[in-house]
Structure formats: C-alpha cells, structure tokens
Amino acid sequence: MRPTVGIREVAERASVSPGTVSNVLNRPERVAAPTRARVLAAIDELGFVRNGSASTLRAGHSRAVGLMVLDIANPFFTEAARGVEDVISERGYALMLSNSDEDAVKERRNLRMLAEQRVQGLLVTPVDDEAPELLALRERGVSVVLLDRPGARPDQCSVAVDDVAGGRLAVEHLLRLGRRDIAYVSGPPGIRQCDDRREGARRALDGADGARLREFAAEGMNVRGGLDAGQRLLAGRRTPDAVFCANDLLALGVMRALLRAGARVPDDVAVLGYDDIEFAAAAAVPLSSVRQPTYQLGRLGTELLLDECENPDGHAHQQVVFQPELVARDSTG
C-alpha cells in the first residue's frame, strides 16, 4: 500500500502550489500551457487520482446519480438501465444502483442511503410516489426524474410509455383479426402498468359489437404465473379465441399451457404479449408483442436528469410519454 498521493504531492513535484493543480484539474484554460504540462506529467508519474469525497464535500454535491428500480432482474429495467448507464458513463458520472424490490420499506432505506451519498440526481420508479424521503430529497435540491411513472406533476421531469395506448393497440390488433372472445391476463392487483393496459384494452372494445374481455390475474408476472393463468383459462366453459397478456413472460406461460392442452396457436387461440423481450421472437410460436422503447426511456430520462443537474436555472421540466408499437408475429397469425 503506497503512501497517499494528493494534490499536495503533485504540486510539490511540479513545483507549483496546490491551487494551481486544482486549476489544471478544473479550469485548465486558466493555467499557462507549460505549467499545465508539468502538472499533468506529475499527475501521471505519481498516479494521482482525485479524491471524490473531498471534491464533493467542498462542492456540496457529487458527480454521482442514483437509479432506483423495482426489480433489477426484470428485462424491462435491465434494458432501461443500459440506457442510463451509457449516458452516465459518457458524461463521466458514477451510477449508484438500488433496487426497491417493490417494497416501500426497502425503498425508504435506499433513499436514505442515496441521500447520505449526496447523489446529485435520482432516476426512480417509485413504489410510493409520496415517500417522505423522496420529497426530502427534492427539498434538498436533488433533481428527481420519474421513470415509467407518467408524471402528473408539472414540477418534475418524467419519462414513460403510454400503457393505455399499448393496451388499446393490442386489443385493436386482435379485433382486426376477427377475435371476439378476448382474455386479459394481468399481474397481481395494484400494478399501474397492468391497470393502464387493461384500461386501453377496454377502450378498444368500446366500439366492437359482440366482443368481450375476460380477466385473469396471475400471481406473479412471470412464466409460472402465465402457466397457471393459462390452465384456469382452459378450465372455463369456453376457451377464448385470443389472450392478451400484460407482459411477455405471462404470454409465454399461457402459450405453453395452451399448446400442452392441444390448442393450436394462433388458429384456435391467438396470444399477444407485452414488452417484446428478446425471447419473444424465439418462442415455439414466435410471440406477437407490444414493444416499448425501453433503452431510450433510460437514455432520455438520464439526459433530462443531467440537464437539470448541470443547468438548474435554464431547465424546463418535461413529461415525456413515448408511444408503444405493435410487433405482429406468428402467435397472432
């Protein structure tokens, strides 16, 4: 373990004062070229690395932003996180990741942690929009951007995808194919995305004569939940002629239940998912799905966040809503 090398040692080696080293680091244009070169050389030779906590302490804010998601293992958030990380890394920031696990208690604990770390901004898909820690963060001047929560509030930025439109797209597609007896397989109650997609589905049905929407709630928004919902759906008196699922994992499960029971997809039953994950196209019957610009969601959210961080005065809050897109594959014929 070598002795700590700080700005002081660099200064000594380059025969300048610490202040000048700091200037080289932060406002290089104010330093004469030869001096600057000497300092840079010294930095290099000594392997100096700026102490972030000291800068942060002095500056009052760090070069780190937080990202809090509901589930880091979910492909949706993973893809968004890629967008976030790309921007963060391009712009020389650090990313503090945390995972609320859809648990308000864990969320509050993590928010506390992020506050202690003095993150400069936060991208968050909150479990509890009104968590006092979240408000407190904003009160202390931390920029907050909402991710995948359509922002009701005009006083902050948000990026989201229009889930109502997605649900509508989905069901319109099924109706166009002549399906009339449609099942909607959602996740457990209380998930906003599921609710919005259902709402969209209902609206699409409004004009359609003789069409109906039946609902099945899965226990979890994963393959197993879909399998189970698929079985319940098959147990009914009449099997629907189309199934719209709140995400692709559910759809894969439903499809498996159907195929196993001898139903033909899409001839007997059309299956439609949501998210268009990588595996959708690879299913036995390639899965039609509703695609969201997930990576872009992460990217744009982060750009808005950094803009707000770096330019708090000139910043205008915006609530961005992306439109989803239908990807038709074999599972809906």
Partner DNA sequence: CTGTTAGCGCTTTCAC
Partner DNA sequence: GTGAAAGCGCTAACAG
Q: Which residues in the 197-236 window bind its own copies by CB under 8 A?
A: 222-223, 226
Sign of CA dihedral 135, 137, 142, 147: negative
Member of 118, 214, 315, 317 binding its own copies (CB under 8 A) = 118
Q: Cβ closer to DNA: 60 or 314?
A: 60
Q: Cβ closer to its own copies: 35 or 296?
A: 296
Rule CB under 8 A: say whether 92 interacts with its own copies. Answer: yes
Site stretch for its own copies (CB under 8 A), options 76-84, 160-168, 175-183, 210-218: 76-84
- Give me the residues that bind DNA (CB under 7 A), please: 4, 6-8, 15-23, 25-26, 30-32, 34-36, 48, 50-51, 54-55, 57-60
The neighbour count for residue 111, using CB atoms within 10 Å, is: 24
Separation of alpha carbons 259 and 292, rounded Å = 27
In angstroms, what is the minimal distance from the CB of 46 to DNA?
11
* Binding at 62: pick from DNA, its own copies, none (beta carbon under 5-8 Å per type): its own copies
In angstroms, what is the minimal distance from the CB of 52 to DNA?
8
Rule CB under 8 A: say whether 104 interacts with its own copies. Answer: no
In angstroms, what is the minimal distance from the CB of 134 to DNA?
20
In angstroms, what is the minimal distance from the CB of 295 to its own copies?
9
Site stretch for its own copies (CB under 8 A), options 71-79, 121-129, 236-244, 321-329: 71-79
Please, what's the largest Cα pairwise distance for the chain?
88
Is residue 266 reached through a cis peptide bond, with omega within 30 degrees of 0 on the bond before it? yes
* Binding at 8: pick from DNA, its own copies, none (beta carbon under 5-8 Å per type): DNA
What CA–CA distances, in Å, run from 8 to 46, 51, 70, 94, 155?
11, 12, 44, 25, 44
Q: Cβ closer to DNA: 47 or 154?
A: 47
Rule CB under 8 A: say whether 78 interacts with its own copies. Answer: yes
* Binding at 42: pick from its own copies, DNA, none (beta carbon under 5-8 Å per type): none
Member of 8, 112, 192, 212 binding its own copies (CB under 8 A) = 112
For its own copies, the binding residues (CB under 8 A) are 1-2, 47, 49-54, 56-57, 62, 64, 67, 72-73, 75, 78-79, 81-82, 85, 89, 92, 94-99, 106, 109-110, 112-118, 136, 139-141, 222-223, 226, 249, 252-253, 255-256, 259, 278-279, 281-286
